[in-house]
Chain A
Amino acid sequence: MGQPRVETSRQVSDEVRKTTCYMCACRCGINVHLTSGKVTYIEGNRDHPVNKGVLCAKGASGIMQVTAPSRLRAPLRRVGPRGSGAFEEITWEEALETAVSWLKPLREEAPEKLAFFTGRDQSQSFTGWWAQQFGTPNYAAHGGFCSVNMAAAGIYTIGGAFWEFGQPDWAHTKLFVLFGVAEDHDSNPIKIGIGKLKARGAKVIGVNPVRTGYNAVADEWVGITPGTDGLLILSLIHCLLEAGKIDLDYLARWTNAPLLVNSAEGPEKGLILKNAESQPFVIDKRTGMPAPWDGAGVQPDLGAVWQGHRTVFQHMAERYLSEDYAPEAVAARCGVPAGRIRALAAEMARVAFDEAFELPVEWVDFRGDRHASMTGRPVSFHAMRGISAHSNGFQTARALHLLQILLGTVEVPGGYRLKPPYPKPVEAHPTPHFVAAPGKPLSGPHLGYVRGPENLALKEDGTPWRIDKGFTWENPFSAHGLMHMVIPNAHAGDPYKVDTLFLYMANMSWNSSMNSARVMEMLTDKGEDGEYVIPRIIYSDAYASEMVAYADLILPDTTYLERHDCISLLDRPISEPDAAGDAIRWPVVEPDRDVRGFQSVLLDLGVRLGLPGMVNPDGTAKFKDYADYMVNHIRRPGVGPLIGFRGADGAAEGRGEANPDQLARYIENGGFYQAHVPEGAAYMKPWNAAYQDWAVATSFYETPQPYLFSIWSEPMRKFQLAAEGQGFLQPPDHLRERLKLAMDPLPVWYAPFGEEAGEDFPVHAITQRPMAMYHSWGSQNAWLRQIHGKNYLYVPTAIWEGQGFEEGDYARVTSPTGEIVVPVAHMAALNRDTVWTWNAIGKRRGAWALDEGAAEANQGFLLNHLISEVLPGAGRVSNSDPVTGQAAWFDLRVRVERVGPRDVAEPVFDTLPRVVPKGRGRA
């Protein structure tokens, strides 16, 4: 008998449709294979700029998401008590009319009574615009509990951030240092990059309490104590300064290091010294006299003292040369030996300066100075939630940017490169808009970058305009809002009560809230009048998440393969350092249920409410649906949601009139578009005239916006001045001291507020995202839940042995806020004072169409129950970064005690009534 003949050339499918993944926030390109009209296989799109053909575990399991039994099937109206899960199916007409009957009076009388917050929304420029047209100041997405420290610190310092808004120069970097990067955003690009570094043997250093994932492949691991990254970074800066290993030329030319700091006592103390034209200036080394900061040929003197005013450079050096930042002084606190800190600094300096190289690219800077080449400094950094989700996260992120700047490694070959539309300085961003008036739209976008106390969203009586108290003295730079405070504040009526809470894709009664159990109570709490404290809740989601049971009206969304979406340059594009890029999703299959894409529903509501921009003068709909909006909406003249194939002939890029064939052209092109940065403009973008001109042409800004990196942050100093008593706008007294501390114009480290828990809670507790799960979504996926169906609390050796833990044991984990009882496992590659677990594996029984006996609902658990949404003490101050309002998830301090073997984790909640039937077999 011979070998059987194997069919090796079978046709894979009938058709391939190319769209954008939504199994996480990465937005990779995917090839969706269809056979007889059904999705049969999903793989990465090789031509796509984000993933270049590769796809992660989540993306490749998308086929199990579009068939998941947890999918909602039709609009629902609550008929029993809230949280009881008693719903009736209604028609879309009924659903929309119900929503309109709630929203229309609000708009006419008090638009701020609508709080509209979107979770994992990838259409924020649209949802924000809708909220703006409605006229409520209460809009934001989930950035406040996700990334705003990182985003804001980046914008205020270098005009662009970590996260997915920039990336190391993978082609040239020789040393890559990750601070607190777990698998979360930009995951495939980072993995591709690390793969490139590994292929050529470049060095990777991971600074993280936990050695998993990227840190597991790092050549060196620095197992830092959570919340002390800023201190470590400032100590590295101390070492570099001490040794003179800083890029003086870079500092003098591209940063505000040579600007002068006003030293005169009074309202201007600490602000950047300005000339008669209100322009900052430098002292020219050639003349010793003041010269314009952007003057051609000027050689700024970093060491200048002008009429007693010293340069930013001197202030900075003075601070960080202090022995307070010596490695020996910080080692114990950081959990990193002093020798190790010095060795790290040495390694960074060696690569930055001894392995510097010249890239033979001619360019002209904004001063008009011509350069024959670009100097490469092949050290690059990346950071994410690990440093961001602390109450000192903003300053820590700023410290890291300062480290990059001192080494001269931002926007240079081999360093960290921003992706268009970044770099973009604070000045090019809007300020917040928040003034609500009956029947009127807001005058501009909600979210923006505050320049000083005058931009705060405070009413004349000093109370907040926004329900989340965004842009107030509590968190002045809350550029993403504070979604985590919306329900607690609305429940407390602080600063006021709302009528309707409208949420999209945010699991606020479970893993997306601090203190989830309390939030469930807030959602079901009734006032003395017998009415719910939060009277109405509209929720849109595609799946039967834990939040669904708490809504009054459910607007079922489609899955990502059944919808239009727009990954726009107006919010969160898919650019690369070498190209601006945007993308679409389109319905590669039609929904088999009575569901509608949320954005189209929002437009429909907009028409029914008569919102400006959404209706024609005759009251008819301006846009048929979201797809129509994507093509025909005009944000600024010639600028719409998509930059590609604009103009009547589809040949225009960036600017141009709407093109009715635009979506067809996108689909033809694989679902995305790229506008390539011209050669010679790829690096030094903030100062590179060629880049600035291209950015204007491509619509990112209206005029060139060259700027200096802000080592010294003037907006911050303005708040510090106010806290010191200067100026008309004054903070409340209970916030003065923390403003003085947190709004330091130079990066500073202070202990995270969580430390106030005291000695009874000696252990840090943090979470990480598993690479194969995205938030709560993975558990409904037949394949992914087999990989991560339950989670353990990983415990370091000292605690494991100290408590006498054994395999199968559970631990009682206690924080000042609550207590959980959870399964433990030992991990040696872990900071000695830290425990951690995978995020959002724990599920509530009855949710996500899972069986009551599912491991996720029995052994799986959340740390959320241990985290308070407010800080101890009076005033309901949110447990957030005092600068940005970023939720301080990772400040959590706990105590861990052995309780022996158990079967079920605690707390246990009642089983959620089912809004969809329990899943059986695979579809």
Chain B
Amino acid sequence: MHPAPSVILFTVLSGAGFGFLALLGVFGASGTAAFFLWGLGYGMAVAGLVSSAFHLGNPRRALLAFTQWRTSWLSREAWASVIALGLFAPQALADWLGFDWGQGFWGQGFWGRGFGIAGAVMAGVTVFASAMIYAQIRAVPRWHHWTVPLVFLAYWATGGVVLAGVAPLALPALCVLGGVLALHWHFGRHAFARAAETMESATGLGRIGAVSVFEQPHTGGNYLLREMIHVVGRKHAERVRMIAMVCSVMLPAMALAWLGGVTGAVLAALTHLLGALAQRWLFFAEAEHVVGLYYGQRGAGVASGSGGRAR
């Protein structure tokens, strides 16, 4: 799949932003700090959402995306994100302006952070819905897997605590994220094979013999080749996988554990985001869509057979 920058930015920023917002929603902040912290969370989440609009052919009609929540995960994501942002708003105002009903989780009792907690739940739902947009797609076997929402949620949770620089929470979260990533990649490796779709099943010609491309249907480009049969990045997959693991898990953990303080927190946040970007780039770049079978693109490292050429 084509790793479109708009979508990568969207999922990373909104994921981390909603994670941060969720953390704020639960734990709160106060005063001027609250203004900036909530602002940062909102900024990231909204920037992510805005960035996603760049992926649209017709962004002017984006509001229509709210209509199909009964079937469409994208629509659900839209609703969830708006609800989450809406729920966070009173909490953010309360934190900033110091309304007494919203002062801190521990100080004023559970209900004092009702909006924040509800927002946090909806933020989680938003990220889960985002993940399901990909996970629902059977035609991309690597995505069509329960580890995908896990990865998104792990980044969501980790992103929040890493951005907040809360080492006691962040270190275990990072460990979990590392494990989830490893699991996701482990299953991803053989996802396409498990889907059992081949050029033979795609064409139905397997009953005759082994199928390969003789001649592509067009020598010119098209949307499918650009969007779904992106092969450029696949050869860098291993390196990017390493970068993603090191940056989003190991470096932040080290920064928080050994460096600590503001420097450690900022470094952890930056490397984590960088790692998240790498992971998300890889998430697209190495995902193979079954439509590639029609073009003889059976995936990285697999020869496309006699006469097979991308173009």
Contact = CB atoms under 8 A, between A and B. Distances in A.
A828 B306 contact: yes
Contacts of A808: 309
B202 interface: no
A251 to B, nearest CB: 42
A794 B213 CA distance: 13
B214 to A, nearest CB: 6
Contact of B218 (A787, A800, A825): A787
B307 interface: yes
B219 A855 contact: yes
A825 B212 CA distance: 12
Interface string B280-311: 00000000000000000000000110111100
Interface in B197-235: 214, 217-220
Interface in A1-58: 1
Contacts of A789: 218-220
Given A1-B67, A827-B214, A787 B220 contact: yes
A172 interface: no
A792 B309 CA distance: 11
A238 B309 CA distance: 45
A790 interface: yes
A786 interface: yes
Contact of A790 (B67, B214, B219): B219
B219 A807 contact: no
A240 B217 CA distance: 43
A807 B220 contact: no
Contacts of A1: 67
Interface string A785-827: 1111110101001001000000110000000000000000111
A1 B71 CA distance: 14
B235 to A, nearest CB: 14
A491 to B, nearest CB: 36
B219 to A, nearest CB: 4
Contacts of B307: 792, 794, 825-827
Interface in A537-593: none
B303 A807 contact: yes
A825 B219 contact: no
Nearest to A808: B309
Nearest to B296: A807
Contacts of A826: 306-307
Contacts of A790: 219
Contacts of B67: 1
A850 to B, nearest CB: 12
Contacts of A794: 307
B70 to A, nearest CB: 11
Interface in A821-862: 825-829, 855
A209 to B, nearest CB: 15
A825 B218 CA distance: 15
Contact of A786 (B214, B218, B304, B309): B218
Interface-central residue, B67, B214, B303, by most chain A CB under 10 Å: B214
A836 B304 CA distance: 21
Nearest to A824: B307
B69 to A, nearest CB: 13
A826 B306 CA distance: 5
Interface-central residue, B304, B306, B307, by most chain A CB under 10 Å: B307
Contacts of A787: 217-220
Nearest to A797: B306
A824 to B, nearest CB: 9
Nearest to B221: A786
A253 to B, nearest CB: 46
Contact of A807 (B214, B217, B308): B308
Contacts of B218: 786-787, 789
Interface-central residue, A790, A800, A826, by most chain B CB under 10 Å: A826
Nearest to A772: B218
A786 B219 contact: yes
Contacts of A855: 219
Interface in A120-179: none
Contacts of B220: 785-787, 789
A787 B220 CA distance: 6
Contacts of A825: 307, 309
B300 to A, nearest CB: 14
Interface string A197-224: 0000000000000001000000000000
Contacts of B308: 807
A788 B219 contact: yes
A781 B307 CA distance: 26
Nearest to B303: A807
A23 B214 CA distance: 26
Contacts of B306: 797, 800, 826-828
A807 B214 CA distance: 12
Nearest to A795: B307
A804 to B, nearest CB: 14
Contacts of B219: 786-790, 855
A91 B67 CA distance: 63
B64 to A, nearest CB: 10
Nearest to A782: B220
Interface-central residue, B217, B304, B306, by most chain A CB under 10 Å: B306
A827 B309 CA distance: 12
A829 B303 CA distance: 19
A807 B217 CA distance: 17
A794 B309 CA distance: 13
A794 B214 CA distance: 10
A825 B306 CA distance: 8
Contacts of A800: 306
A2 to B, nearest CB: 13
Contacts of B303: 807
Nearest to B306: A826
Nearest to B216: A787
A788 B214 CA distance: 14
A218 to B, nearest CB: 15
A790 B307 CA distance: 14
Interface in A497-552: none
A827 B307 CA distance: 6
A896 to B, nearest CB: 15
A603 B306 CA distance: 55
Interface string B67-106: 1000000000000000000000000000000000000000
Contact of B304 (A807, A827, A829): A807
B222 to A, nearest CB: 8
A787 B214 CA distance: 14
A35 B214 CA distance: 40
B309 to A, nearest CB: 6
A829 B308 CA distance: 14
B268 to A, nearest CB: 43
A792 B218 CA distance: 13
Contacts of A786: 218-220
Interface string B53-70: 000000000000001000
Nearest to B220: A786
B112 to A, nearest CB: 41
Nearest to B68: A1
Contacts of B214: 212, 827, 829
A808 B311 CA distance: 10
Interface string B229-261: 000000000000000000000000000000000
21 contacts: A785-B220, A786-B218, A787-B218, A787-B219, A787-B220, A788-B219, A789-B220, A792-B307, A792-B309, A794-B307, A797-B306, A800-B306, A807-B303, A807-B304, A808-B309, A826-B307, A827-B306, A827-B307, A828-B306, A829-B214, A855-B219
Interface of A: 1, 212, 785-790, 792, 794, 797, 800, 807-808, 825-829, 855
Closest 5 CB pairs of A and B: A786-B220, A789-B219, A826-B306, A825-B307, A826-B307
Interface of B: 67, 214, 217-220, 303-304, 306-309
Given A792-B309, A855-B219, 13 more contacts: A212-B214, A786-B220, A787-B217, A787-B220, A788-B219, A789-B218, A790-B219, A797-B306, A800-B306, A825-B307, A825-B309, A827-B307, A829-B214
